[in-house]
Amino acid sequence: MEIAIIGAGVSGLSCAIKLKQHGIQADVFEKRAIAGDRFVTAEVFLNLLDYPFYDSIRYLSEEHDLLIKPTSNIKKMFIHGPNVSSCLEGHLGYSNLRGKHDEALEKQLQSQYEGNIYFENKVDYQEIAKEYSHIVLATGDPLDTQQIQMFEEAFRASFKGGIVTGEFTPNEVHAWFNNELAPKGMCYLIPHSHSEASLVLVYPQYKENQHVDKEALFQKFHEEAQRKLNQTLNLVSHFSINDYRIGISSYPRIGNTYFAGNCFGAITPFLGFGQFTSILTGIYSAMDIMGKGNYDELTKPLYQNFYDSLALRRGIEKLDNSKLDLVMKSIHTKILETMLTRRKVNLLKIASKALKPFL
Ligand SMILES: Cc1cc2nc3c(=O)[nH]c(=O)nc-3n(C[C@H](O)[C@H](O)[C@H](O)COP(=O)(O)OP(=O)(O)OC[C@H]3O[C@@H](n4cnc5c(N)ncnc54)[C@H](O)[C@@H]3O)c2cc1C
């Protein structure tokens, strides 16, 4: 068996680790000079969205011997509507770092991989297809999937974010749902430490958003975050991304080519989370290659999750600011809070039900 993994990111490295755990060495190609060679930003694993897995990081360690040390265990999530805020409390998930940071997820995964990575090797799928019996496409870019099969694009997202300094409680994150700050999108603040955090704005690039002034929106959000947190947040670095494709591949594998991570369609359209699904698709493709699972079957729930998440997004997009405030109030209700934070529930299904009265 000759296996090539294209991309040493979250999904590619997860696949390589799993194969190596069973004594199988793949050729891992990475176009950059190091794993995680990009801007630093904080991301999250949210337990609420990973149904039926209650605790994603614990699951990965217990079931797959894949160890992730998060930056913090998220205990509080403040959700700010246009005028009303609410707070969820409990074991909500984890925050972690990405990019050129010593504790970045990519670095943590690389340190657990005992094989070789061919860095500065930008590989073209068509060129190597004949040389390998199995190929895992894990480049993080659905455009590469589209060279081989249909990738159903739900929308493209635009990001503007940066690192701010201030005083933070590492296990408390903030999210804003306000069409005046992020039309049909969201803003968030995730601490990296007591003194540093990521501040990010993201919205879909729909036709009606094409004249949006991203810089002005980000400035407005920056001011709102300072007001809400009652302190000055100094912006020390920033990044901007356009055309970040969110969608799903028609097939998880074609012959012996496996689509993993964003190439599979790992990002859930509702809030844009893709780390856990990226790791799962990496692991699942390895299991199929080793004859220990069937990738088509293993990824079925991930397709379901994608479509449930897309339906929820389409519902929320219909809410104007006054309705978003009503939703914030309903999150306040004890019953919903208990359902969301203390039990293993499918948030996507519950949220769709809870939203019905507002639509
Ligand atoms: C700003 C931002 C915030 C996000 N926040 C969250 C969050 O809070 N929670 C969450 O769960 N998800 C979040 N996501 C999504 C998450 O980061 C992705 O779903 C995940 O990283 C995808 O993993 P991957 O393995 O597909 O790609 P990556 O981890 O990006 O890895 C792809 C790798 O392939 C390499 N590569 C590309 N082309 C080639 C080639 N031709 N040859 C060799 N190597 C190649 C790249 O250099 C890269 O190292 C966020 C995304 C962004 C952009």
- Looking at residue 266, its pLDDT comes to 97
Q: Ligand 1, closest atom to CA 29?
A: 43
Structure tokens at 282: 């990496």
Q: Whose CA is nearest to atom 7 of ligand 1?
A: 43
Query: Which residues of the chain carry a pLDDT beneath 50?
Result: 335
- Looking at residue 123, what DSSP letter applies? -
- Looking at residue 350, its pLDDT comes to 67
Domain carrying residue 251: 3-358
- Total tally of structural domains belonging to the chain: 1
Distance 10 CA to ligand 1 centre (A): 7
What CATH number does the domain containing 58 carry? 3.50.50.60
**Dist. CA 97–CA 76, nearest whole Å:** 18
Q: Count of residues for the chain?
A: 359
**Dist. CA 294–CA 11, nearest whole Å:** 17
- Looking at residue 53, its pLDDT comes to 83
- Looking at residue 359, its pLDDT comes to 59
- Looking at residue 342, its pLDDT comes to 56
- Looking at residue 100, its pLDDT comes to 94
Measured from the Cβ of residue 65, the count of other Cβ atoms closer than 10 Å reads 11
Ligand 1 neighbours, Cβ below 6 Å, are 6-12, 29-32, 41, 43-44, 122-123, 138-141, 159, 161, 241, 244, 261-262, 266-267, 272-276, 278
- Looking at residue 117, its pLDDT comes to 96
- Looking at residue 337, its pLDDT comes to 59
